Amino acid sequence: MLDLPDKLEPLFRELSRGRHLSAHDGELFIALQQRPDDYVQIFAALGFKLVQDARAFYYFEGSNRGLADRVQRLALFVYILIDAAADAGASISELLSGKELFVDALPHLSSERYRGYMAHVEVTNQGDLSDIVRTLENFGFVVQLNNGFRFLPPIHRIVDACRQEAPTSETTKTPVAEAAC
């Protein structure tokens, strides 16, 4: 008789819809950590590749169901946060590893340059920014707190994608995230 792990069904449901699981996901993350090889084998038999990132999160490689049409918007959102932090001399590592951020204090609509970038992905107001944060939460990239949010380890997957697709020309006027994904 085949010994299937206890959390197989909820893990498959979450991972197959594009969610990235980290310690924030409690029991599901613990289940993956306790029997990673079993889950890799079972999901492979179903045609899915479970990836365990060294930064303590899991996802299905190639699973972007529900995410594909939003990747550019999410990448641009993250790019602007990183760009604004760099311009302000703030720690990007601190930003990506748990600093609490507030939607009403985000830089995305604070300058003509950033508003122009966001207009390309049809983001024009605070409500649109809140929608992006909710999407990021649905896919396991952030956790929403009282009035703010903070990034979870899977955010590094978006940052990695932006780095890989970054334009190399100094004359490129397009932000890194617009070229990403």
Domain that holds residue 49: 8-61
Q: Is residue 78 one of the residues assigned to a domain? A: yes
Domain match, 160 and 109 both: yes
Count CA atoms within 13 Å of residue 7 on its CB side.
18
- If asked whether residues 152 and 111 sit together in one domain, one would say yes
Q: Is the pLDDT of residue 1 over 70?
A: no
Number of domains in the chain: 2
Q: 87 and 55, same structural domain?
A: no
For residue 96, what are the CA distances in angstroms to 40, 62, 85, 116, 151?
Answer: 28, 23, 11, 24, 6
155 within some domain: yes
Over 70: is that where the pLDDT of 166 sits? no
User: pTM value?
Assistant: 0.85
Question: Which residue from 139, 167, 145, 150 is spatially nearest to 71, judged by alpha carbons?
Answer: 139
* pLDDT of res. 171: 39
Question: What's the rounded mean pLDDT across residues 8-26?
Answer: 96
What CATH number has the domain bearing residue 17?
1.10.10.2250
Q: What are phi and psi of 116, to 5 degrees?
A: -65, -45
On whether both 88 and 154 belong to a single domain, the answer is: yes
Q: Domain boundary at 61, 80, 97, which?
A: 61
Q: Indicate whether 98 belongs to any domain.
A: yes
CATH code of the domain covering residue 100: 1.10.10.10
Residue 3 lies in a domain: no
Mean pLDDT of 131-158: 95
Give the confidence band of 54 by pLDDT, cuts at 50, 70, 90.
Answer: very high
Q: Could you tell me if 40 and 14 lie in one domain?
A: yes
